[in-house]
Amino acid sequence: MTSDQTPTLKRSKDPFARSAAGFIAPGVILVAVLLYLPLLWTTFLSLTEYNGLGDPEWVGFANYLEMLDDPGFIGSVLNTLLWVGGTLLVPVGIGLGVALLTWNLKGGTWLRLPFLIPYALSGIGVGVIWSFILSGDGALDQALAAFGIADTPRWLVDAPLNTVVMILATAWQGVGVNALLFTIGLQSIPKEPLEAARVDGANGLRLFRSILWPMLRPLTAVVVGLSIVASLKTFDIVQGMTKGGPGRASETLALTMYKETFVNSEYGLGSAIAVFLTVVTLAASILYLRQQLSSKHGV
């Protein structure tokens, strides 16, 4: 009986497999067209010299060597690393603080609302607002002058100060959503361990360190991972506030890629920077996820 049933079972699975393949195929084709083909084309262009006209000329790894020999590119790498560190410390840290302070507070939702509103703005919009505030003789300088402080820094000119103030502008935009995510995580914590910890005398920092932080770790991993990827691709707010200037002092990798490709018409060099940025982003994501999984399983 078993031998007779086996072919029947195999035959019954084939139509299901064909139907599943039919449903999956459009998604696979869409991903291939919109993701893999552009990635392959960019990788090919990175090995050529191409100005957008005519046929690409094969140059091998010359673009990568030129990229690594460019002091401006090295400065972009350092600025991007500064963005990664600043984005983790400021918007994520302040977002966690806002969530903790307003979590069990009556009217806490309304207190979080002002932090969340800037998230609705685009990066360019945030750049325009903060350029008005921080530009020479802008709103901040005028406010300081009203208090008798006339000798102010050139906020958007002096490096690395211009990168620092742009990170703060990004924090103004991103604190609210981080606070919202951490608040959701806090609200999902069971009440029983919290009540037991309070009975044992755990309050304040001790309660956070012993109960809240361990239970927030999975959500924190998501927030930090998203922040790392977003900071590595920082473009719009830098373009809106300094355009990478003065000179190339505040450029990030994404902005350098944009300028080389669409301003200087160096499509090969711009593609090489794009491939480098893609590899760095993937490597950072994989290493971070592996570290999180290892710590989760106690390895």
Q: Which residue from 179, 206, 15 is spatially nearest to 96, judged by alpha carbons? A: 179
Residue 209 or 153, more confident? 153
- Per the CB < 8 A criterion, the answer to whether 256 and 273 are in contact is yes
Mean pLDDT of the 23-42 span = 84
Whether the predicted pLDDT of 7 surpasses 70: no
Q: What is the mean pLDDT of the chain?
A: 85
Query: How confident is the model over 50-76, as pLDDT tens digits?
Result: 988 888 999 999 999 999 999 999 999
pLDDT-derived band of residue 196, with 50, 70 and 90 as boundaries? confident
- pLDDT of 299 reads 43
Mean pLDDT of the 77-88 span = 92
- pLDDT of 192 reads 78
Whether the predicted pLDDT of 230 surpasses 70: yes
Residues 131, 225: Cα–Cα separation, whole Å: 28
- Per the CB < 8 A criterion, the answer to whether 233 and 277 are in contact is yes
pLDDT-derived band of residue 152, with 50, 70 and 90 as boundaries? confident
pLDDT-derived band of residue 186, with 50, 70 and 90 as boundaries? confident
Whether the predicted pLDDT of 5 surpasses 60: no
- pLDDT of 83 reads 94
Please give the angle made by the CA atoms of 99, 102 and 105, to the nearest 5 degrees: 150
Name the β-bridge partners of 58.
48
- pLDDT of 271 reads 94
Those residues with Cβ within 8 angstroms of residue 125's Cβ, 6 or more apart along the chain or in another chain: 240
Other Cβ atoms closer than 10 A to 284: 16
- pLDDT of 12 reads 46
Q: What percent of the chain has pLDDT over 70?
A: 92
- Per the CB < 8 A criterion, the answer to whether 169 and 250 are in contact is no
Query: How confident is the model over 245-275, as pLDDT tens digits?
Result: 888 999 999 999 999 999 999 999 999 999 9
- Per the CB < 8 A criterion, the answer to whether 100 and 94 are in contact is no
Residue 133 exposure: Cα atoms within 13 Å on the Cβ side: 11
Whether the predicted pLDDT of 206 surpasses 80: no
Whether the predicted pLDDT of 159 surpasses 60: yes
Mean pLDDT of the 290-295 span = 74
Residues 181, 99: Cα–Cα separation, whole Å: 8
- pLDDT of 25 reads 82
Query: How confident is the model over 86-141, as pLDDT tens digits?
Result: 988 899 999 998 988 888 778 888 888 888 889 888 888 999 999 999 988 889 98
Mean pLDDT of the 27-39 span = 84
- pLDDT of 297 reads 57
- pLDDT of 195 reads 73
pLDDT-derived band of residue 21, with 50, 70 and 90 as boundaries? confident
